[in-house]
Amino acid sequence: MNKFLMGALSAAVLALAAPATTVNAQTPWAIDKAAAPLKGTRIKVMFLDRPGYRAIIKLLPEFEKQTGIKVAYEIVPYENAREKQVLNFSSKGDLTMALVDLVWIGEFAESGWIVPVETFTKDAAITDPNLNLKGFFPLLLNAFGSWDGKVYGLPFDNYSGLLFYNQCMLKDAGFDKPPATWDEVMNVYAPKLNKPEKKQYAFALQSLRGETQSADSFMRFLWPFGGSLLDKDFKSNLGSKESQAGLKFRQDLIKYMPPGVVSFDHAEAVNALAQGQVAMITEWSAFYGTLTDP
């Protein structure tokens, strides 16, 4: 079975799955020498369809020049990434490296589809001596690249949740700045921004059933009210009054969202804002480049 070294998304970038080689201890490490046994080979990488990863793709020609390794790649929307990766891994496909969301690491590691970073770093001949795992923030390395005490990928980027808003729509509604609290969103901004007769709505967020990001967007309403998915004993806490208050707030806010918002994922929410259909969305900072591109 093929094994894969993965990169976690929030994310990690993958190291080269190279065979062991030997090198004189006195010889300075160089990428061309480390990759020499693989010169002329081809590897397959899966990137997510995000601006930051397209910047990496621009560096591939230089990598190919220095290593002699041909890199084939596929750009996949986040919404389709897990399905395509699972299909490729389980069918012993040609995927060598991938950017993997942190919520998939456990499944992939337990299935034997990815291998620990130490599989390669223990061989000094193929490991850049500047790579120092202790230089990563322990929390990031553990949360974004590890499973069951082993590191499977190196954190590559870490997104922040942001409130994106259409400045023109806010201005037309009489606002010169965005809301500062959820209470302002619900009781001050949303009533004035919501214009269903013009097919313009105040707010949107991921709500697609079965999508992990929908759970994430739900928790943005639980936490401000003191709620949580689990209690201190790791039992469901959704029935607590705090969690129920967060759920009610989210349900009440839906009246200011577009019809069909329950089928919204990243693309639908981002496109709705970009096209002037909604005034505000909460999304990851990864979409900043997309939404600010004229």
Which of 129, 155, 181 is the C-terminal boundary of a domain?
155
223 Cβ neighbours under 8 A, 6+ residues apart: 246
pLDDT band (50, 70, 90) for residue 73: very high
pLDDT band (50, 70, 90) for residue 222: very high
* Comparison of pLDDT for 294 and 250, the residue scoring more: 250
Of 37, 24, 1, which is closest to residue 16 (Cα–Cα)? 37
Which of 155, 181, 203 is the C-terminal boundary of a domain?
155
Range in 10-14, 218-222, 236-240 with the lowest mean pLDDT = 10-14
Q: How many domains does the chain have?
A: 2
- The answer to whether residues 175 and 121 belong to one domain is no
- The answer to whether residues 206 and 94 belong to one domain is no
Q: What CATH code is carried by the domain that includes residue 151?
A: 3.40.190.10
CB-neighbour burial class of residue 152 (10 A; exposed 0-12, middle 13-18, buried 19+)? buried
Instruction: Over range 176-203, report the average pLDDT.
Output: 97
Of 261, 31, 13, which is closest to residue 154 (Cα–Cα)? 13
- The answer to whether residues 27 and 138 belong to one domain is yes
- The answer to whether residues 11 and 150 belong to one domain is yes
- The answer to whether residues 180 and 140 belong to one domain is no
Domain range for 122: 5-155
User: pLDDT tens digits for 28-63?
Assistant: 899 999 999 999 999 999 998 877 788 889 999 999
Gap between the Cα atoms of 230 and 226, Å rounded: 12
Most confident of 10-19, 151-160, 179-188: 179-188
Mean pLDDT of the chain: 86
- The answer to whether residues 178 and 148 belong to one domain is no
- The answer to whether residues 136 and 190 belong to one domain is no
- The answer to whether residues 19 and 117 belong to one domain is yes
Q: Torsion over CA of 106, 108, 113 and 117, rounded to 10 degrees?
A: -50
User: pLDDT tens digits for 242-272?
Assistant: 999 999 999 999 999 999 999 998 889 999 9
Gap between the Cα atoms of 109 and 116, Å rounded: 9
- The answer to whether residues 274 and 188 belong to one domain is yes
Gap between the Cα atoms of 232 and 102, Å rounded: 22
Q: What is the pLDDT of residue 13?
A: 38
- The answer to whether residues 143 and 28 belong to one domain is yes
